[in-house]
Chains A and B, each alone.
Chain A
Amino acid sequence: MKYIITRIIQVIPILFAITFLSFAMMRLAGSDVVEQKMLNTGQVISENQLIAAKQELGLDRPFLVQYFSWLGKLLHGDMGTSYVSGMNVFDTFISKLPATILLTISSIVFTVIISIPLGISSAVYQNKFTDYVIRFFSFIGNSLPNFFVSLVLMYFLAIKLRWLPIICREVNLNNIIMPTITLGIAMSAKYIRQVRATVLDELSKDYVIGAKARGVKFSTILWNSVIRQSLVTIITLLALSIGSLLGGTAIVESIFMWDGVGKMAVDAISMRDYPIIQAYVMWMAIIYVMVNLVTDLSYRFLDPRIRLGDAQS
């Protein structure tokens, strides 16, 4: 418990550094925020109005003053309004979140269903035909950029076979299939390798040889010990993937018009919509901290040696 608290305290400076960096980064490019806003709305304005608009947004004040006033508002949960839509940033962000969470869940489930059985059989039938076939496909999957997979899927499933709509205007079951497969292919390819390596590692341990020597059936060893042990590692890896998926997948969400936070970020970046970008960066920072904490804690929980080492020191 004490450890958890120290960990959280350690994380606070990193969070502040991230807020500062994101703020600084956006301001460095941000000499034209107001011009950009005018451009987006298509208005033509005079020099005076321009200055007034800059004053209204507080852009004429010194950099640090701007930062602290922004940070202060942020701590109160106020992220300002979007330069483009004029809507509350926090509300906009929350409205995009369910789509991303849904896509995260579906692609993780897809990946688990594909990669765990294939990875295990690849390890069990090591250097046999099955292993080669599985490894071949995982290799191919690893070498495909996801925008290429998306477009190929679109071409065959939506255009040639007309099974699915091309563009996902709304969040529903039909529309989630293609983004899920796209993300799932890349992740499964990676995880099959990981699962295979973990299971192989486990299979070569002494207790497996011992159990074999005592005449325990191989399937019993596999199911009762090896897979159970391997899952520990795999679940930790999955936690990391969930983190990165929750950050939204910029390309896949944009291609399929899936209305999640990744697409929101890409749109905001191309429109220079700073408040939205900053909200997004804060979201990433939170995910990063959570994922780090979870992996750290899970290692300590799963591996008693780390806990012991900590107690001694």
Chain B
Amino acid sequence: MKKKKLIVFAFLALLIVLVAIFAKWLCPYDPYEQDLSASYQAPSFIHVMGTDAYGRDMFSRVIIGGQVSILATLLLVGIISISGTCIGIISGFFGGTVDMIVMRISDLCLAFPGLVFALAVAAILGGGVWNAVVALALISWPKYSRVARGLTLSIKDSTYVAAARLAGDNSFQLIGRHILPNIIGPILVTAMLDIGTMMMELAGLSFLGLGAQPPVAEWGSMMSNGRSMLQTYPWVVLSPGIAIFISVVIFNLFGDTVRDAIDPKSNRTK
């Protein structure tokens, strides 16, 4: 049962990623081609999600927008999970001054509400999806370094690590052979559960105008651009919103099942 669930959600998550990668070939229309005579058409069989202010097909724009939103999110989670883990392991394993400095920096990063800090960073770097990714990466890595550091600290003093050390392993070998394999599971779970949150934050930055810039289609900025038209042409706002919602749900469900599979101790249903 559990395995079946994992396969189903893994398949759905993979499907979303594939749609994002092959977006260009899946769009029924050109997402950037303007046709002012066809602006604000309600959803129909020709335009499944209607058209926007410039007569662009919303369905095509949502698919292309997914490419930016999803691939940028995956890249972001990849960057912060790897760098955060490395920092956390080093900090936990070597301890001392390095540990203290790293922990104070991560304290600083956690001191601000994430989005506002990212806003400030994005404002300095300027708009653009990649700058938004950098901004979020700069404040989000401590999540991983804390998990990695905590686990490293608890493994470091275990007897098998001491035995390996006695057998002549140096620090790199200890980390590579004994510590990393033991903490990769929880880190993976954290990363999987993080995808949904990060997707929402990235879209939030774009929504505030600090992520993707027009005319690039991105879910957050599409919603923000259509905001004033909510009253008369709600599909312009609701289609990308529903797209975000569905992808976040699928990635969250996938994350939950991965957690249940990897870490039976924290099983939700007990």
Contacts and interface: CB of A to CB of B under 8 A. Distances in A.
Interface of A: 14, 17-18, 21, 25-26, 28-29, 126-127, 139-140, 142-148, 151-152, 154-155, 159, 200, 204, 244, 247-251, 254-255, 262, 265-266, 269-270, 272, 277, 280-281, 284-285, 288
Interface string B223-234: 110010011001
Contacts, number: 110
Nearest 6 pairs between A and B by C-beta? A29-B124, A288-B111, A145-B200, A148-B241, A143-B248, A247-B113
B133 interface: no
B179 interface: no
B152 interface: no
Contact of B123 (A29, A144, A262, A288): A29
A25 B123 CA distance: 10
Given A21-B108, A200-B270, A285-B111, A270 B209 contact: yes
B112 interface: yes
A77 to B, nearest CB: 22
B249 A28 contact: no
Contact of B204 (A147, A200, A262, A269): A147
A25 B120 contact: yes
A134 to B, nearest CB: 13
Nearest to B256: A139
B175 to A, nearest CB: 29
Given A29-B124, A265-B119, A272-B123, A145 B248 contact: yes
A18 B270 contact: no
Nearest to B242: A148
A238 B268 CA distance: 22
Interface string B205-227: 00111000000000010011001
A266 B208 contact: yes
A140 B253 CA distance: 10
A161 to B, nearest CB: 13
